[in-house]
């Protein structure tokens, strides 16, 4: 079993787009838990990609290929993770803030929230504050979740909360934030309602904010 997880992780690191979906499907056919396939296979691989990118032994084109491979694997798991929780919570709007193109972590948070029973509306990445305010008016969510992976884009979370306040929408929603450079202190400073350290704790937090736990 751990051998299959290792193959999936290696496939993500090597950007093996042709093989990883098949490996994920084999793991599912073997009856393995989709959350375990995600956490012990795909995420392990992407974490290693992160380390190698930092050390300079992987470069942007390779990282992008790994990201696409991870995404292809994720897509097979998405409906199964969602099934676990079928529509218990309200709506969550999720997006990566202005200036930031990183969306892998945000996508994982979305999948976990679907699994926890929320309807997730993914607004995408590089979102100006106005995109969030417009979407709040349109979809009337319970929660909005913002992700940032760059120290330079974290501040856009604060700008977005200000825009939501100025639009008179702040008391209608809860705000959660996350992403590698973000922490609980920062979340409090910018006036968010909570901080999720990873996808699983993000989904737990969402349940708490929605009064489900």
Binding site for ligand B1M (CB under 6 A): 43, 46, 49-50, 53-54, 60, 63-64, 67, 99-106, 108-109, 145-147, 149-151, 176-181, 196, 198-199, 202
State which residue, 30 or 211, has the beta carbon closest to ligand B1M. Answer: 211
The least CB distance from residue 211 to ligand B1M, in Å, is 17
| Structural contact between residues 188 and 157, judged by C-beta atoms closer than 8 angstroms | no
State which residue, 30 or 47, has the beta carbon closest to ligand B1M. Answer: 47
The least CB distance from residue 203 to ligand B1M, in Å, is 9
**Cα separation of 137 and 168, whole Å?**
10
CA angle (6, 11, 13) in 5-degree steps: 95
The least CB distance from residue 160 to ligand B1M, in Å, is 12
The least CB distance from residue 73 to ligand B1M, in Å, is 12
Phi, psi of 44, deg, nearest 5: -60, -45
In what order do the strands lie in the sheet containing 143-147? 119-127, 91-97, 143-147, 174-178, 194-196
- For helices 104-115 and 60-83, give the axis angle rounded to 10 degrees: 10
State which residue, 59 or 134, has the beta carbon closest to ligand B1M. Answer: 59
């Amino acid at each position: 079993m751990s051998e299959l997880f290792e193959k999936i992780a290696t496939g993500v690191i090597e950007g093996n787009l042709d093989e990883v979906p098949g490996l994920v499907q084999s793991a599912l056919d073997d009856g393995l838990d989709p959350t375990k396939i995600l956490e012990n296979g795909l995420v392990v691989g992407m974490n290693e990609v992160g380390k190698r990118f930092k050390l300079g032994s992987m470069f942007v084109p390779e990282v992008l290929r790994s990201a696409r491979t991870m995404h292809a694997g994720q897509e097979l798991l998405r409906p199964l993770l969602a099934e676990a929780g079928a529509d218990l919570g309200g709506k969550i709007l999720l997006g990566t803030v202005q200036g930031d193109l990183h969306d892998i972590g945000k996508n994982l948070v979305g999948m976990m929230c679907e699994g926890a029973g929320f309807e997730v509306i993914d607004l995408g990445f590089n979102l100006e504050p106005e995109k969030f305010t417009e979407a709040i008016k349109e979809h009337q969510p319970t929660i909005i979740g913002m992700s940032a992976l760059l120290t330079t884009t974290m501040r856009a979370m604060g700008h977005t909360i200000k825009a939501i306040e100025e639009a008179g929408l702040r008391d209608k929603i809860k705000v959660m934030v996350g992403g590698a450079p973000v922490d609980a202190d920062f979340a409090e400073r910018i006036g968010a309602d909570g901080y999720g350290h990873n996808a699983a704790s993000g989904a737990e937090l969402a349940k708490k904010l929605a009064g489900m736990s």
